[in-house]
Amino acid sequence: METLTDYVRSGEPDLTNRQMALLLVVYLKPGPHTVRGLAQVLNVSKPVVTRALNKLGALGYLRRQRDDADRRNIFVAQTREGADFLEGFGGLIARRGHDTDTRQRRRA
């Protein structure tokens, strides 16, 4: 809970669970990623992925990229802004985990 409270206080955009899950799939699983593939991985509809992708794209965390081999295909690609966001979020988790470990050792 403290990590999420820190996140809310950080001033970073509030992401829904679906948006965060989509972001993590694109950054942690090997690509290429398509809307259809992401919908299958998350077990949601393509419109749900599209809405989340619209928000994440507006934030600069992900981008759509045309497939040069088949212009009908659209890939979902990582961005520097998205990597920076996730690095910062991971830092919040790591700091909280370290703080919790330190408090537990002091009590022991």
pLDDT for res 77:
96
23/2 Cα distance (integer angstroms): 22
CATH topology of domain 2-107: Arc Repressor Mutant, subunit A (1.10.10)
Left (φ > 0), alpha (ψ -120 to 50) or beta: where does 31 sit? beta
For residue 44, how far is the Cα from the chain centroid?
16
For the chain, domain boundaries: 2-107
Global pTM reads: 0.80
Cβ(48)–Cβ(22) under 8 Å?
A: no
pLDDT for res 45:
96
- Write out residues in the chain with pLDDT < 70, as ranges: 97-108
Q: What is the pLDDT of residues 71-86, one digit of tens each?
A: 888 899 999 999 999 9
